Amino acid sequence: MWDVFSKPFVQMEQVQFGYRRSKVILRRVSADLYQEHCTAIVGANGSGKTTLGKLLAGILKPWSGTVRLEGYSTTALRLGQIGQMIGYVFQEPDRQLFAPTVREELLFVERLQQRLNPTVEGKADQLLAEFGLGHVQDSFPHSLSRGEKQRLALAAVLMREPGFLILDEPTTGLDLERRQQLTAYVQRLKAAGVGLVIISHDDHFIGDNADRILTMAGGEITDDSHS
Ligand SMILES: Nc1ncnc2c1ncn2[C@@H]1O[C@H](COP(=O)(O)OP(=O)(O)OP(=O)(O)O)[C@@H](O)[C@H]1O
Ligand SMILES: [Mg+2]
């Protein structure tokens, strides 16, 4: 019924992409994604899940076809605009951590834009507490454990308050307790109306969170099922 009442947040039409001219990775992928859903993307290693996620987040641009966010093509949007619409947490969180301390990682964008104020700092401190990072707030991000880095990357993305979030293999390296905490957080984001894509091999986590599952094989979506 969702498609009758709401517009898709993400629209992919006939998306083709490859890293090298000689090799197509995604072949004509089309799908609409809704903010009301937590959509899982599953499939074998190398099937193109991460590549698709990066196209959704505007990190990669299609060879042909279009990816639209709230109606705007990612080729026409600036990265800063995209970052406010859609957040992306990398499969390897190291790739998106670059500040000298954990707390600075959350304040980086605002400081850069000279918009640091008590409200912004309060939001950062709240996220640090929520993600169990308060005790390492002055540490160098790259010295954190893998699970801590993943939580930090997620907290940093949430500072922008995006309407849609892509989590690439978010449970890798998380212990049971942290996985349950992540599930609780995902449920809260859903309740707050944030759309989600979870790229994962973790069937339990998907079962607990996803209400739609897209299956990829060989660079194509081969199945689309709702639960
Ligand atoms: N930067 C890159 N340059 C060239 N080829 C790449 C690059 N990144 C990925 N590929 C290739 O694109 C294909 C899809 O990779 P992708 O990372 O999207 O798969 P995936 O489904 O996320 O796999 P996994 O489950 O292992 O994370 C693979 O054949 C991979 O080798
Ligand atoms: Mg991947």
Write out pLDDT tens, residues 114-166: 889 999 999 999 999 999 999 999 999 999 998 899 999 999 999 999 999 99
CA distance 184 to 178: 10
Write out pLDDT tens, residues 208-220: 999 999 999 999 9
What DSSP state is assigned to residue 47?
A: S
H or E segment at 10? strand 10-17
What predicted TM-score, i.e. pTM, was given to this entire model?
Answer: 0.92
Q: Which atom of ligand 1 is nearest to the CA of 54?
A: 18
Choose which residue among 17, 19, 24, 206 to substitute to test ligand 1 binding: the one with the highest number of ligand atoms within 8 A of its C-beta. Answer: 19
CATH code for the domain defined by 34-58+76-226:
3.40.50.300
The rounded Å distance from CA 97 to ligand 2 centre is: 18
Minimum CA distance residue for ligand 1 atom 16: 48
Query: Which ligand is closest in space to the CA of residue 26?
Result: 1
What DSSP state is assigned to residue 28?
A: E
Structure confidence at residue 154 (pLDDT): 93
Which residues have C-beta within 8 Å of that of residue 65, sequence separation ≥ 6? 12, 13, 14, 15, 16, 28, 29, 30
Q: Which atom of ligand 1 is nearest to the CA of 44?
A: 25
Query: Residue ranges of the domains in the chain?
Result: 34-58+76-226
Query: Which ligand is closest in space to the CA of residue 42?
Result: 1
DSSP string, 92-159: SGGGG--SSSHHHHHHHHHHHTT---HHHHHHHHHHHHHTT-GGGTTS-GGGS-HHHHHHHHHHHHHT
The rounded Å distance from CA 24 to ligand 2 centre is: 16
Structure confidence at residue 113 (pLDDT): 84
Structure confidence at residue 4 (pLDDT): 52
Question: In degrees, to the nearest 5, what angle opens at C-alpha 191 toward C-alphas 189 and 196?
Answer: 45
Structure confidence at residue 1 (pLDDT): 45
State which residues of the chain have pLDDT below 50.
1-2
